[in-house]
A and B are shown apart, each in its own frame.
Chain A
Amino acid sequence: MTEIKAIAIVGVGGQGTVLTSDILIEGLVDLGYDVKKTEQHGLSQRGGSVNCLLKYGEKVYAPLIANGEADIVVAFEKIEAIRWLRLLKKDGTMIINNHEILPIPVKMGKAAYPHDAIEQVSSVVEHTYAINASAEAEKLGTIRVASIILLGALVKLAGLEHYDWPSLIRKKVPAKFVEANLKAYELGLKSVN
């Protein structure tokens, strides 16, 4: 347990990166790890690119993740995987939600959106997992549970599936969305078999 693991959860404001990372760290503490996390509040939530950075292990000092230090990067949106690729360590794992949220400058015709972001990332990162989380979430009734599908994939790839995540999810999400979230978690686990 002396090794420190670093996980970056990145996306667009409003996608649920903070809730997902909150669930993750609560489980990690329950598992006996020291955990630290840092995230953005305020201005960056207005449709901006957001990141939650966390580290866990026996003793963690600062949660900031340097370039090339992340064991796993979870991108809730395609191009955020490109934006935060610099954090990933060699032979690290990249999880990408196959979902596009066009930035305003792209919509206004002032910037280009690389629609082949997943192909580009997987051409350099061997351990790339693309997941149709948003599309699957919509099938479950709300796109909001995409974050829990991605949490399921993350739990599996981080080797943390021995913990009772469903009980924790039940505690942390709004009551009326519990069932959809539990299904989402199961889908996420299976998505990276």
Chain B
Amino acid sequence: MMKRVMLGNEAIARGAFEAGCSVAAAYPGTPSTEILQNLSKYPEVYSEWSVNEKVAAEVAIGASMAGVRSMAAMKHFGMNVASDAVFPSVYIGATGGLVYICADDPGMNSSGTEADSRHFAPHMKMPMLEPADSQECKDFTKLAFELSEQFDTPFMVRTTTRINHGSGVVTMEDRQEVPVKPYQRDIMKNTNIPALARNKHKAVEERLVRLRAYSNTTELNREEMFSTDIGVICNGISYQYAKEVFGENASYLKIGFSYPMPDEKIRSFAAKVKKVYVLEELDPFMEDYVRQLGIECTGKEVLPLYLEYSADIIRKAFGLPTITSAYHLDTEAPVRPASFCAGCPHRGIYHEISKYNGKIVAAGDIGCYALNINPPFSVTHTQICMGASITAGHGFERAERKADRGLKIFSFIGDSTFFHSGITGLVNAVYNGAKMSVFILDNSTTGMTGHQDNPVTGVTLMKDVTTAVDIRTLVIGCGVKPENIRTVDPYDLKATAAVVKEAYEATELFVVIVKQPCALLKQVIAARKGKHCKVNADKCRSCKVCITKTACPALMISDGKVSIAQEDCNGCTICQQICPFDAIEKVEG
């Protein structure tokens, strides 16, 4: 059998492939993005970028009803969005195996909250598996499809960033094609109309009893017996840290099937060891259950409830000797805050917007453009969740009418985020007479997660050419008056300044489509090849305004002299337009 090193996300995709999964959907979100990216390489599986996670879950549910194995993948915020669909799917069950992958982000590497999505499992009454490395990512995902059909329920596979973005050796197997299940209209099963669904809750509870019995027998929950002085109950990456820290000085109950929890296995394990430790990142999900069983244990009173764990954190918590740094320098390396890339189109719009700082409230959203929060732009006031720039901006504007502080509300949302959750907010703003200005930053890609296609690009995840959705037409369709819509190129600062002024002075709902593709897109790099800016040393007075106003990474400084890194610069000319001494020139190669 072939062995390969795989990212956890690649292994999840491989597991779905091997299990015979036929339909898969997701919206990109770190740390789950690479699951669908990898799955789309297998032509046997239909894979799509859905416009949001609720849509992705519904696509998977529909495919399961039709009788094929299907999957939806998301990060923890995505499960919040998808939950409206995922809850009823648990009552409906799974004709074709139905699996949801949910990736949490302890340590908040790329997320604004550190939610523990395991709580969704008891809330939804949905069984849950937790892999601890890449091999288990593949094996557990594969098994989840089988169990889903066996127990007629969707399964959740819950991971964390270190699992999704960790790599390890994976043994591959062949794909098993699963025959499509027969379909017939079955409203008892496939609808949740109250009169019909009432009996289903009881069935769901009875199913949980059967699932707990499975949890008590499956090898996914396994004992590893060594010294019985300490017994460690652990899951996911915490299992790896536990093994590294305690080695053979402890025994382990590794929990891979974490909802319903295996009560009998826990009781029997606890009876064999002198004391019980529970190791899990974030909330005391397992620990609370162990205590409910009346078993004394040590967990969150010594271990943190926040951020990710490490072997070192566990050593410290249990008073074990830690390794310390061997070398130290007093010099600190200056930080590298994430910033707009060289040639980034967001630089132009936020440069012009920043001139209104103090007079506006900038309601932000989720995407690369959020980096405007740093100097020299310092624009954003609020950021909540996907789509909230428009809706919370509308709420702020309503309150501002009462407060009357003379603040204008500007909302900022990217193209992909607009499709994800912005459209409903814009319709709401039209319907309720909002008077703010909305900037839709169309860089023709989903940028922050690494260039995924979306409805604006006209290309699908499987690289099929499709209808590109036109944002201006869509905005008109939402009800915004055509005379209140502008489209502007943010590389043209004069035109951008004029449109921002109009947006500031507008007395009705006003929409600006800021259109220029991401500078890092392959086709943009190819199209702009040879376009650069360079500094005319005779004219440059080293005032450094180009650097302090743009913070462009292509601008270099050495011995007080400014130059432009030709390999990074794409000739966007924003620095040229800002230079007060006309010392930057455009070069066409």
B547 near A108 with CB under 8 A, answer yes
Identify which of A54, A83, A89, A107 contacts B547 (C-beta below 8 A): A107
Instruction: Select from chain A the residue with minimum beta-carbon distance to B567.
Output: A143
Given contacts A29-B3, A49-B336, contact A36 B166 (CB under 8 A): yes
B334 near A38 with CB under 8 A, answer no
Chain A-chain B contacts (Cβ-Cβ < 8 Å), number: 174
Q: Is residue A130 contacting chain B, with contact meaning CB distance below 8 A?
A: no
| A55-77, CB < 8 A from B | 60-64, 66-69
Q: Is residue A174 contacting chain B, with contact meaning CB distance below 8 A?
A: no
A43 near B334 with CB under 8 A, answer no
Once bound together, how far apart are the Cα atoms of A63 and B65, in whole Å? 40
Of B83-91, B150-158, B238-246, B356-364, the one with at least 4 CB within 8 A of chain A: B238-246
Q: Residues of B contacting A124 with CB < 8 Å? A: 327-329
Once bound together, how far apart are the Cα atoms of A63 and B337, in whole Å? 25
A48 near B322 with CB under 8 A, answer no
Q: Residues of B contacting A111 with CB < 8 Å? A: 334-335
Instruction: Select from chain A the residue with minimum beta-carbon distance to B30.
Output: A42
Beyond A63-B167, A102-B556, A104-B337, 7 additional contacts (C-beta under 8 Å) are A29-B4, A36-B133, A46-B340, A69-B323, A88-B327, A90-B326, A108-B547
Once bound together, how far apart are the Cα atoms of A83 and B339, in whole Å? 19
Q: Is residue B18 contacting chain A, with contact meaning CB distance below 8 A?
A: no
Q: Is residue A103 contacting chain B, with contact meaning CB distance below 8 A?
A: yes
B110 near A42 with CB under 8 A, answer yes
Q: Residues of B contacting A40 with CB < 8 Å? A: 109, 165
23 A-B contacts (beta carbon < 8 Å): A34-B169, A36-B167, A41-B34, A44-B109, A46-B338, A49-B335, A54-B167, A62-B311, A64-B310, A66-B310, A67-B324, A68-B325, A79-B334, A83-B333, A85-B327, A86-B327, A88-B327, A103-B337, A104-B553, A108-B547, A109-B548, A111-B335, A124-B329
Once bound together, how far apart are the Cα atoms of A79 and B336, in whole Å? 11
Q: Is residue A26 contacting chain B, with contact meaning CB distance below 8 A?
A: yes
Q: Is residue A140 contacting chain B, with contact meaning CB distance below 8 A?
A: no
Instruction: Select from chain A the residue with minimum beta-carbon distance to B308.
Output: A64
Contact size range, A: 35 or more
Instruction: Select from chain A the residue with minimum beta-carbon distance to B548.
Output: A108
Instruction: Select from chain B the residue with minimum beta-carbon distance to A84.
Output: B333
A37 near B338 with CB under 8 A, answer no
A43 near B30 with CB under 8 A, answer yes
Interface of A toward B, CB cutoff 8 Å: 12, 22, 25-26, 29, 34-49, 54, 60-64, 66-69, 79-80, 82-83, 85-92, 102-109, 111-114, 117, 120-121, 124-125, 143
Identify which of A26, A48, A143 contacts B338 (C-beta below 8 A): A48
Within the complex, what minimum Cβ distance (angstroms) separates A45 from chain B?
Answer: 7
Once bound together, how far apart are the Cα atoms of A104 and B548, in whole Å? 9
Within the complex, what minimum Cβ distance (angstroms) separates A117 from chain B?
Answer: 8
Identify which of A41, A49, A108 contacts B375 (C-beta below 8 A): A108
Q: Residues of A contacting B449 with CB < 8 Å? A: 42
A26 near B5 with CB under 8 A, answer yes
